[in-house]
Amino acid sequence: MSGSNLLSSVASFFASHKLLANLLILLDYTSFLTSGVSALKVVIIAVGGGLAVLGVVNLLEGYGNDNPGANAHVR
C-alpha cells in the first residue's frame, strides 16, 4: 500500500472525526511542500555558488594586465 493510499484509508477510518481526517490530509500536503522547499534550497545554493565562482574568475581576470605583449590593441 502506498503512502497516499494508506493516508486515505486512515482518513476514511477517522471520517467521523472530521478534524483528525482533515489534519491527516493536511499533513500529506505539508510533507509535499517541505520536500519542494528543500529542493529549492539546494537549487538556490547551487546558483549562488556558481555566481560566486564566476565573480572570483571575473576579479582574477583583472590582474592579467601586467603583460603588455598580450594586448591586441595597436597604439
* pLDDT at residue 51, as a whole number: 96
* Sequence ranges of the domains in the chain: 1-60
> Are the CB atoms for 41 and 35 separated by under 8 Å?
no
pLDDT, tens only, 16-74: 567 766 777 776 777 777 888 899 999 999 999 999 999 998 888 877 666 666 666 65
b/e burial code for range 52-61 (CB count within 10 A of at least 16 → b): eeeeeeeeee
| More confident position, 75 or 67 | 67
pTM for this model (two decimals): 0.49
Question: 9 or 3, which is more confident?
Answer: 9
**Quick one: pLDDT at residue 40?**
94
